[in-house]
Structure formats: structure tokens, C-alpha cells
Structure 1
Amino acid sequence: MSIGDDGGYGDGRGSGTGQTRTRLPDGESDTYGTPRRGRSGLSSRNLVTVVGVVVLLIAAIAFANRGGSGNSETDTGSTGSPKDQAASRPTAPTGTKPVTGKSAGIATGFPKTEQGAQSAAANYVVALSGDGMYQADRRDAIVDAVYTPSAATARKESLRKSYTDPKFLAQAGLKADGSAPQGMTFVSRANPVGTRTEAFEGATAKISVWYSLLFGLAGQGSQNPVAESWYTATMQLQWVNGDWKIAGLTTGAGPAPVGGDQAAATADAISKAVQGFGGLTYAR
């Protein structure tokens, strides 16, 4: 279920032959019957070494050039435009450490920068997609922590209606109080993949977050097994009381990649994974 201002929810493999060629003394054939060539001029071993060195040098130069473009603010990239260069690497890591402050279990104290706005948006997506939104006291605390004061007041009532809607809870397989049935583990966890700045004006920002969402009930006989969905949330952020806060939020489906060919885990394995792996503080 995706987050949004519409009510809080919406609906390496490798392969090889395994063959091994065996070196035999000169004059003999290898295991596939190919005659050995005589030695003349530069040996084949030396030639391979020279070619290998050249390839490594070319790769090193290419890597150095790529790293230089990523760190240069004036590098214009292939199109000659600094704006296009930034658009091609919207989530390049910066090395900036995650924030250490927390409010209602949510990271706080993001810097008043474009990177800070992106980090805040990613963490807020996680908070607003978590199972805490299905519990009244935790939901209000989350809303107060991530929204501007005026927006929080308006959102609390609409979110209360959404997350206590009997029809919605029944579709999710939850009980009337938002808890999971006995023997089941409720899973609602967002995993941001990347962020993008749509606009930044110093004290305001518009940030989009692309993320996957694990949602469902893990347990024997679950009619709503944990499944993965993809969304893009776009937030209007404002700098309020020394931190970024949400003034508006919309969510759309996708883009969703093609599913892999991994076998689905058992309900017990999913339950143990959710309970055994904690969440992350996301930083740009």
C-alpha cells in the first residue's frame, strides 16, 4: 500500500562450459587435439602480458575520468550542460554521514542543503510506509515528526480514517485494531532505491523518492502473502524549526522492474527476516 495525500494508501546468473585446457609439453596436442605452435619472436605468454597491461591502463584511465566528472561541479558531461550532468547522477554518494538525531524513532536534524532534503525525504518515506501507521498513538507521533505543524493537523484526521477503515484493514488481512491475526507477522517496509531533486530554493524543496514496498502477512495459511510493489513519492518540503518537514505529498505507482527468477521464501523465513533485520537511516 503506497503513501500519499489521497488518504495514506493506494492500492547474476553466470553460466560457463566448465572446460579446462591442459598445457602439455611442446610438440604434443592439448586435450582437444590442437597442435602446439612453435616458438617464434615474441612468445604468446609475453604477448598476453603486454595486452593485459594495456587493457588495465585503459580501464584505469576510464575510471579516473569517470571519478573526475562525478566530483567536479563545473564538469558539463556529454551534453555540455551542468544541469544535465547533475540529472544523470541524482543519487551519487557524497560521503556525508547520516544524522544522529531521532524523533518518534525517525531520523531528524537534516542539514539545510539539497542533499539534506533528499535524505529527509527518503527517511520520511520509510516512516510513512511502516507498520507504525496502523497504530493510533504511533501514527500521530510519526505525523508530528515528519509534517509541518499545519500540515500535521490536517493530515491526522484523514489518516485516521484511512488506517481505521474496516474495508481497508480486511483487505490487508488485519484485525479491526490494525494488528495481525495470531500466528501472523505483518510486514510493511519501504526500501528507497534513489532520490531526485525536482526543485530546490533554499528553504523549500520538491523531492521524489523511488522505492519498493514489502507488504503483506507472513504466516502459515496467509491469504495476503508478503509481496513487493514499486512506487514514486514526491514531497513538497519546507525548512521549519531547523529541519525539513513535509508540506505536501503525492504517490504514484512504479516504475516497476521485471521480477527476478528467485524462488519465493517460506512464510517462516520471511517472518524471521523481518524480525531479524533492522531498518536503516538513509542518507544522500
Structure 2
Amino acid sequence: MEEGEGGGEAVAVRAFWQRLGLPGLIDVHTHFMPEQVLNKVWAYFDSAGPLTGMEWPITYREEESRRLALLRGFGVRAFTALLYPHKPGMADWLNGWAADFASRTPDCLHTATLYPEEGAERYVRLAVENGARIFKSHVQVGAYDPNEALLDPVWGLLADAGIPIVMHCGSGPAPGKYTGPGPVGRLLARHPRLPLIVAHMGMPEYTDFLDLAERYPQVRLDTTVAFTDFSERLCPFPAAERARLADLEERVLLGTDFPNIPYPYLHQLEALERLELGDDWLRAVCYGNAARLFL
């Protein structure tokens, strides 16, 4: 572990989890992608500001080895390589890249993705057989209904295998045709055992996605961007729902969106702490819940 990477911020991040008596952090929402794909993602964030009036600077715009060193310097014990296609023909190729990345990055959970297309069941099954531990579904970027018939055998396969899917299905930061709780609610009604991790706490439809988590025991939520100063200006989490966060302690997971975040990594942790839900809640969210799933 490269203790010196990250400077003063790394010292502060490590002090956060050391105070809680944790062995480190597990971050279920980090992005590693082929360089040409990540550059396009960064270009999108760069261009979105003038269009939306919401600047989104990339805090950790570094080359791959430096980004890995930063996470390790923060004490992140396990993380993901969330990646996603926006058109047919990409997912299988991305899964090949992710399998290679996982083979050379042992602290990264082997990640895979999917898209509603002919052959999806075949390449998802192959990814599972090759050791994928977590999948990414991006309903907003992919502009697809998770209830499309081509995905039905995929969801059944993943439910049977018990492999979690991080799904960006909330309508933030910008709504899509199939975002929001409606399509996901219909999906879960048909696949109630699907181990879904709702990205960004379902922002901005927080209450609706908390409802789904209460209704379906295999639904979890990740904290990515939620509760930070950045999101609180745009999509504040309802103060009245904090008690429900406490009740769902075992099904909230740390996610950050590293490296694609417009503030320091430390701020996500500080935002969780200022919810004042207690140290046991922080221990569960920042390490324990994900450790039970993945370690």
C-alpha cells in the first residue's frame, strides 16, 4: 500500500476509518474504464456544465496507476471498476477489458456490465463463469428500460447467482426516459430476489427508493454523491428520511464516484458523518455491509 499517496487528504481519510476501528474502506462505486472510454466520460462532464449550469470538475483526473495509488493511499481495501455501454456491441468488449483489469488489480472487485441486446445472456453468463463479482447497469446513459425482454434472462441469471448490480436508475443529475422508481419497481416485482444496489441513493427520488429497499430485502443503496454539499444544493436529501437511513443500516453501502467527483474524496466521508447516525452506522456503511457481500 502506497501510504504516501494523497498527501494530507490521505492522512485525513485514514484517520476517519481508524477512529472507527475499521481495517479500511470498501467503496462499491468507483470507475475504471479503458482510457479512450474514460476520456469521453470526462469530456461529457466538461461539456455538461455550460449546458446545465452545473459545473462538474473532475478532482482526480489522473492516469490509471496514479488513481489506483490514491485509492490505496486512502486505505480503500476493495473497490469496483464500474463501466457501462451506451449502445449495442460495447458491453462484451468492456467486460473483456474489465476481466483483464481485475486480473492485474487484485483489490478491485471483478466488475462487468450489460446492455439489452442479442447475446446479452451469453456474455453475462460468461462474465459470471469468469468470476465477475458485481455488475453495472446505467439506465440513464444506456437509455433503456430495465424491463426489456432481452434482459429478462439476465436478471434471472444474476438473481440466481446472487451477484449484485449497481444500477443508476434515479433521475439525477438529469432525468432519462426510463429513470425513476417506476421501471425499477416493475423489475423488482418480477425479480424480487434481484440483488440491486441503487446508485446515488436513487437521487432525487430518495423516498421512493427507500420504499423499494424496505419492500425488497435484497435491495441496497449506495451513498455516491448523496449528502455532499454539491448534491445538497441540487437534490437535498429529506431530513425527515434520516430515521429510515438508520433503520436500513445494513443495506447502505459506501460509494463515491471516484475519480469523477467535483470535490475531495474526504468530503463524501464527512458528509456521512454529519448525518449524525452514529459510529455503528458509519462502520456498517463504510466497511461492514460490503465486507459481508464481497470479502
Q: Same fold by TM (over 0.5)?
A: no
TM-score by length of 2: 0.21
- Which has the higher Rg, Structure 1 or Structure 2? 1
| Structure with the largest fraction of strand | 1
| Structure with the largest fraction of helix | 2
